[in-house]
Amino acid sequence: MKTIPDGFLWGGAVTSFQTEGAWDVDGKGPSIVDARPVKEGQSDWKSAVDFYHRYKEDIAMFKEMGFNAYRTSISWSRIFPDGEGEVNEQGLQFYDDLFDEMLANGIQPVITLYHFDLPLALAEKYNGFASRKVVDLFERYARTVFERFGKKVKYWLSFNEQNLVLMHPELWGVSLEGAESEEALKYQVTHNAFIAHAKAVKALHDLVPGGQMAGMVTYTTTYPHTPQPNDAIANLKAKELLADFYFDVFAHGEYPTYITKDLERKGIMPTFEVGDAELLKENTVDYLSISYYQSQTVSGDKVVGDNPLTGLIPNPHLQTNEWGWAIDPIGLRVCLKNMYARYRLPIFITENGIGVREELNENKTVEDDYRIDYLREHIKQMKLAMEEGVDVFGYLTWGSTDLISSGGQFEKRYGFIYVNRGETDLRDLKRFKKKSFDWYKNVIASNGEVL
Ligand code: BG6
Q: Which residues contact 186 (CB under 8 A, 6 or more apart)?
A: 165, 166, 169, 176
Answer whether residue 4 is part of any domain: no
Looking at residue 208, its pLDDT comes to: 98
CA torsion, points 43, 46, 50, 52, in degrees to nearest 10?
150
User: Is any atom of ligand 1 closer than 6 Å to the C-beta of 413?
Assistant: no
| pTM (predicted TM-score) | 0.98
pLDDT tier, 308 (very low <50, low <70, confident <90, very high otherwise): very high
Answer whether residue 450 is part of any domain: no
Answer whether residue 451 is part of any domain: no
**Is residue 200 packed enough to be buried (19+ CB in 10 Å), middle (13-18) or exposed (0-12)?**
buried
Percent of the chain with pLDDT over 70: 100
User: Is any atom of ligand 1 closer than 6 Å to the C-beta of 160?
Assistant: yes
- Dihedral sign (CA 236, 341, 335, 171): negative
CATH code, domain carrying 405 = 3.20.20.80
Q: Across residues 366-379, what is the average pLDDT?
A: 98
Closest C-alpha residue for ligand 1 atom 15: 405
d(CA 67, CA 55): 14
Answer whether residue 1 is part of any domain: no
Tell me the per-residue pLDDT of 235-250, one tens digit each, with 9 for 90 and over: 999 999 999 999 999 9
d(CA 219, CA 84): 32
Tell me the per-residue pLDDT of 100-127, one tens digit each, with 9 for 90 and over: 999 999 999 999 999 999 999 999 999 9
Looking at residue 303, its pLDDT comes to: 98
Answer whether residue 33 is part of any domain: yes
Looking at residue 280, its pLDDT comes to: 99
Nearest atom in ligand 1 to the alpha carbon of residue 412 is 15
On whether the CB atoms of residues 119 and 165 are closer than 8 A, the answer is no
- Per-residue pLDDT for 43 more than 90? no
* Best residue for ligand 1 mutational test, from 398, 401, 402, 411 (most atoms within 8 Å of Cβ): 398
On whether the CB atoms of residues 164 and 221 are closer than 8 A, the answer is no
- Per-residue pLDDT for 74 more than 80? yes
Answer whether residue 3 is part of any domain: no
Looking at residue 1, its pLDDT comes to: 73
Which amino acid appears at position 3 of this protein?
T
E strands, 27-160, in order: 69-73, 108-114, 155-159
Tell me the per-residue pLDDT of 322-348, one tens digit each, with 9 for 90 and over: 999 999 999 999 999 999 999 999 999
Looking at residue 395, its pLDDT comes to: 99
Catalytic residue positions? Answer: 351
d(CA 411, CA 78): 27
Looking at residue 188, its pLDDT comes to: 98
Q: Please give the backbone phi and psi of residue 158, each rounded to the nearest 5 degrees, phi first.
A: -75, -75
Looking at residue 137, its pLDDT comes to: 99
At residue 211's C-alpha, the angle toward residues 208 and 216, to 5°, is 135
Query: Measured in whole angstroms, how far is the alpha carbon of residue 433 from the centre of its chain?
Result: 25
Mean pLDDT, all residues of the chain: 98
Q: How many CB atoms neighbour CB 127 within 10 A?
A: 22
3-state SS string for 203-223: HHHHHCCCCEEEEEEEEEEEE
d(CA 357, CA 364): 16
Answer whether residue 250 is part of any domain: yes
Look at the chain and report how many structural domains it folds into.
Answer: 1
Could you write out the DSSP letters of every residue in 328-389? -HHHHHHHHHHHHHHH---EEEEEE---B-----TTSS---HHHHHHHHHHHHHHHHHHHTT
Q: Across residues 27-55, what is the average pLDDT?
A: 95
**C-alpha distances in Å from residue 294, one per residue of 6, 282, 332, 364:** 28, 33, 8, 30
d(CA 87, CA 119): 13
User: Is any atom of ligand 1 closer than 6 Å to the C-beta of 412?
Assistant: yes
Closest C-alpha residue for ligand 1 atom 3: 218
Q: Across residues 376-393, what is the average pLDDT?
A: 98
User: Is any atom of ligand 1 closer than 6 Å to the C-beta of 47?
Assistant: no
The Å distance, Cα 214 to ligand 1 centre, comes to 18
Nearest atom in ligand 1 to the alpha carbon of residue 161 is 6
Residues forming a β-bridge with 216: 289
Q: Across residues 260-271, what is the average pLDDT?
A: 98
First and final CA of the chain: distance in angstroms? 17
User: Is any atom of ligand 1 closer than 6 Å to the C-beta of 127?
Assistant: no
Q: Across residues 29-57, what is the average pLDDT?
A: 95
Closest C-alpha residue for ligand 1 atom 12: 406
Percent of the chain with pLDDT over 90: 98
Range of the domain at 286: 9-445
Q: Across residues 69-81, what is the average pLDDT?
A: 99
Sort residue 344 into left (φ over 0), alpha (ψ -120 to 50) or beta. left
Closest C-alpha residue for ligand 1 atom 5: 406
Nearest atom in ligand 1 to the alpha carbon of residue 160 is 6
Tell me the per-residue pLDDT of 149-189, one tens digit each, with 9 for 90 and over: 999 999 999 999 999 999 999 999 999 999 999 999 999 99
Closest C-alpha residue for ligand 1 atom 2: 406
User: Is any atom of ligand 1 closer than 6 Å to the C-beta of 398?
Assistant: yes
User: Is any atom of ligand 1 closer than 6 Å to the C-beta of 188?
Assistant: no
Answer whether residue 431 is part of any domain: yes
